[in-house]
């Protein structure tokens, strides 16, 4: 699926073939437009009405009308606003999002929403908002399933109908890798971190990948930087998982590959460890027995690490 801005002719009109596609897209969503009231007769949506609606949106400053295509076929449309007319709302908005009716429940809506979020993130935005009418529970379920949270309730701009305002932080994706180092008795080495967003937690040595670096290469490099150990190799893949946190004031969604390695029980060593630990928010470290790890007196990343290691054994 690719996104392209709505093309307008020099006299601010829509090309005929495109207007035919868009009218069919809109007409197939009779129930939604009966709810929204965007057209006088939702059972008889005309091309000139669709054209007038989209052109009106497209010429507004800071507004983008985006067409979604897959294999050359129009599969959806989205409209974004650089910011809401209310100065109290600092974030951009998704004003409209729709996929072809015959393609619903196949992941196209989720994909389209993700592409719109990626576009806003690339423009430097840290969050996005939207509104859903209270009379549209399916729409609310769709957006909350994508991680949007209700932050306010108010009347909509045109008819003052009750609606929910939702917001989502646009996190930067970050690939990463870690290594679970096990000593001869099966204890595992963990660092204790303090993070501004998620607080205190324990995690394995590791971190973000450099450009072009494989997860195994990154895990090995991070292990050496954080412990000084250079004589270990990543073994089997234990798991992959994703989690959210804030890194250097940037909201991040980190996708981690976690490997297992066996080595002697020892302390981290090296002249630059203190500086590296301070930069990464590492408070301390220790070896955990499997029984201690299973108790998890403080959060451990990844969750259920003791169980994962037991299953690997």
- Residue pair 195/298 in contact (Cβ under 8 Å)? The answer is no
Are 49 and 39 in contact by the 8 Å Cβ rule? The answer is yes
What local confidence, expressed as pLDDT, does residue 11 receive?
Answer: 81
**Percent of the chain surpassing pLDDT 70:** 100
Identify the DSSP state of 140. H
Domain boundaries, given as residue ranges, for the chain: 2-169, 172-312
pLDDT of res. 66: 96
172-312 under CATH 3.90.79.10, yes or no: yes
CA distances, 154 to each of 130, 133, 165 (Å): 12, 10, 7
Query: What is the topology classification, in CATH, of domain 2-169?
Result: Aminopeptidase (3.40.630)
pTM of the shown model: 0.73
**What are the pLDDT digits (tens) for 191-206?**
999 988 899 999 999 9
Residues of the chain under the 70 pLDDT cut: none
Q: 121-149 burial string, b = 16+ CB within 10 Å, else e?
A: beeebbbbbbbbbeebeebbebbeeeebe
Q: For residue 19, what pLDDT is reported?
A: 92
Query: Between the CA of residue 13 and those of 6, 7, 26, 54, what are the distances in Å?
Result: 10, 9, 17, 9
């Amino acid at each position: 699926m690719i996104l392209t801005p709505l093309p307008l002719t020099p006299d601010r009109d829509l090309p005929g073939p495109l207007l035919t596609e868009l009218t069919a897209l809109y007409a197939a969503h009779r129930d939604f437009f009966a709810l929204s009231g965007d057209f006088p007769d939702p059972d008889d949506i005309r091309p000139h009405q669709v054209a007038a609606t989209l052109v009106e949106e497209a010429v507004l400053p800071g507004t983008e009308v985006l067409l979604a295509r897959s294999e050359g076929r129009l599969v959806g449309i989205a409209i974004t606003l650089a910011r809401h007319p209310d100065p109290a709302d600092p974030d951009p908005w998704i004003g409209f999002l729709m996929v072809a009716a015959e393609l619903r429940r196949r992941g196209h809506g989720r994909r389209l929403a993700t592409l719109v979020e990626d576009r806003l993130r690339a423009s430097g935005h840290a969050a996005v908002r939207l509104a859903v009418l209270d009379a549209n529970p399916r729409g609310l379920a769709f957006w909350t399933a994508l991680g949007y949270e209700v932050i306010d309730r108010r009347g909509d701009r045109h008819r003052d109908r009750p609606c929910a305002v939702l917001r989502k932080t646009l996190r930067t994706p970050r690939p990463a890798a870690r290594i679970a180092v096990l000593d001869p008795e099966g204890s595992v080495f963990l660092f204790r971190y303090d993070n501004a967003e998620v607080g205190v937690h324990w995690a394995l040595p590791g971190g973000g990948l450099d450009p072009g670096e494989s997860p195994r290469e990154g895990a090995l490099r991070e292990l050496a930087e954080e412990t000084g150990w250079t004589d270990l190799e990543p073994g089997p893949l234990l798991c992959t998982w994703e989690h959210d946190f804030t890194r250097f004031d940037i909201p991040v969604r980190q996708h981690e590959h976690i490997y297992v390695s066996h080595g002697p029980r020892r302390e981290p060593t090296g002249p630059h460890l203190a500086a590296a630990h301070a930069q990464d928010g590492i408070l301390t470290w220790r070896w955990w027995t499997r029984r201690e790890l299973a108790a998890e007196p403080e959060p451990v990343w990844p969750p259920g690490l003791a169980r994962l290691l037991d299953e690997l054994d």
